């Protein structure tokens, strides 16, 4: 496996990629222009319950940044991120009793929507929020930091009903960028070169009641969040667990019967449960193999023959035919295209 397999692990819900697509359309780019800017299939955005891998998310953001020429695009996307995009955690935040409680909900349940970073309350009064980054690739870090900053500000303005941007001091963990003037209005004061992204909020904000405070609705929303979190901690749906197992098996892919044994069930039961989720074992195996094949073609110098062998294909021509079915082009053409677009 390539040195860092985390690139193929789930990183963010597709809703955040759909928000990028919506922002590009808002800026006047046509669907064809957006689609042609990247070799990633934007149709994956319609898979509501799916997470994008870090590799796929980075490609999508890279293409959006290249299309607009603006690494700070995330600031605009964050400000257009409705609270509903955050799923059950967003609804729990809106119905929380106080602003502090809303922030604590977002902090605790952030993993239900993404595994890129999360805000923590560094100081209560006056409030200071710090972003703890989990995985923010350098080539799209400016985008992600901007999205985190304004996404949180949009949420705080929604639950409080207050225009907060000019009341906020924003610490930026990078030198002042060339495009700083384009986003200067998102905070009243900027501090560049900090050790972390921080939002310094107005004194007394945490004690204020949320506009949508609703005890009954909040309790129900928290139950939904906790249910989803426990589901996630157990490995998610069966198809999600199997895909994670396949990603971690170092190219020694188990048969259907072997995978069923790992899940403590018969092969027939595994087939039935996967069918209930609308997938087949071979489909999951193909998804993992195609992701790993693309990664190896883009990030290593291994020959197509060695990649085919590593992925379990004894016949290189069979691998090439299968790859063409997956991506619409042969492996060598895919490698040449990916190198040309870097």
Which residue, among 86, 128, 99, 91, has the nearest Cα to 211 in the 3D structure? 99
Class of domain 238-340: mainly alpha
Cβ–Cβ under 8 Å, residues 284 and 239: yes
Confidence of residue 202 (pLDDT cuts 50, 70, 90): very high
The pLDDT score that the predictor gives to residue 51 is: 82
- Mean pLDDT, the chain, rounded, equals 88
Residue at token pair 């997938």: 279
Task: Give dist(CA 96, CA 218) in Å, integer.
Answer: 6
Residue 236 has pLDDT above 80, yes or no: no
At 74, phi and psi to the nearest 5? Answer: -60, -30
Which residue, among 259, 234, 237, 264, has the nearest Cα to 246 in the 3D structure? 259
The pLDDT tens digits for 51-73 are: 888 888 888 899 999 999 999 99
Listed by start position, the domains of the chain span 5-228, 238-340
The pLDDT score that the predictor gives to residue 229 is: 84
For 5-228, CATH number out of 3.30.460.20, 3.40.50.10240, 3.40.50.720, 3.90.1520.10 equals 3.90.1520.10
Q: Which two tokens stand for residue 298?
A: 């883009």
Residue 266 has pLDDT above 60, yes or no: yes
Cβ–Cβ under 8 Å, residues 117 and 239: no
At 12, phi and psi to the nearest 5? Answer: -155, 150
Residue 217 has pLDDT above 60, yes or no: yes
Task: Give dist(CA 171, CA 83) in Å, integer.
Answer: 23
The pLDDT score that the predictor gives to residue 59 is: 87
Task: Give dist(CA 278, CA 217) in Å, integer.
Answer: 32
Confidence of residue 1 (pLDDT cuts 50, 70, 90): very low
Q: Which residues pair with 52 in a beta bridge?
A: 12
Q: What is the mean pLDDT of residues 219-241?
A: 83
Q: Which residues contact 249 (CB under 8 A, 6 or more apart)?
A: none
The pLDDT score that the predictor gives to residue 150 is: 97
The pLDDT score that the predictor gives to residue 2 is: 41
Residue 253 has pLDDT above 70, yes or no: yes
Query: For the chain, first and last CA: distance in Å?
Result: 22
The pLDDT tens digits for 2-35 are: 445 566 677 888 888 889 999 999 999 998 888 8
Report pTM.
0.78
């Amino acid at each position: 496996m390539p040195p860092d397999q985390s690139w193929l692990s789930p990183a963010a819900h597709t809703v955040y990629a759909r928000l990028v697509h919506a922002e590009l359309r808002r800026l006047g780019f046509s669907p064809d222009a957006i689609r042609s800017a990247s070799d990633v299939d934007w149709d994956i955005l319609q898979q509501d319950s799916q997470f994008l891998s870090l590799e796929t998310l980075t490609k999508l953001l890279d293409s959006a940044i290249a299309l607009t020429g603006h690494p700070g695009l995330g600031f605009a996307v964050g400000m257009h991120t409705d609270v509903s995009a955050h799923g059950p955690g967003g609804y729990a935040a809106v119905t929380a009793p106080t602003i502090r409680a809303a922030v604590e909900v977002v902090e605790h349940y952030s993993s239900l929507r993404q595994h890129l970073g999360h805000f923590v309350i560094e100081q209560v009064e006056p409030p200071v929020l710090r972003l703890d980054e989990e995985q923010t690739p350098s080539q799209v870090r400016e985008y992600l930091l901007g999205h985190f900053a304004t996404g949180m500000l949009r949420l705080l303005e929604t639950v409080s009903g207050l225009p907060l941007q000019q009341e906020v001091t924003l610490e930026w963990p990078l030198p002042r960028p060339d495009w700083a003037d384009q986003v200067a209005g998102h905070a009243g004061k900027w501090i560049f070169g900090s050790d972390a992204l921080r939002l310094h909020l107005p004194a007394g904000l945490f004690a204020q009641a949320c506009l949508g405070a609703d005890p009954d609705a909040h309790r129900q929303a928290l139950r939904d969040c906790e249910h989803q979190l426990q589901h996630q901690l157990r490995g998610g749906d069966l198809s999600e667990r199997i895909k994670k197992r396949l990603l971690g098996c170092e190219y020694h892919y188990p048969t259907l019967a072997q995978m069923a044994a790992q899940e403590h069930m018969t092969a027939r039961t595994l087939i039935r449960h996967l069918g209930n989720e609308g997938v087949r074992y071979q489909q999951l195996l193909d998804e993992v193999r195609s992701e790993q094949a693309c990664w190896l073609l883009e990030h290593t110098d291994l020959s197509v023959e060695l990649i085919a062998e590593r992925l379990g294909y004894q016949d290189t021509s069979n691998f090439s035919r299968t790859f063409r079915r997956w991506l619409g082009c042969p492996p060598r053409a895919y490698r040449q295209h990916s190198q040309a677009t870097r």
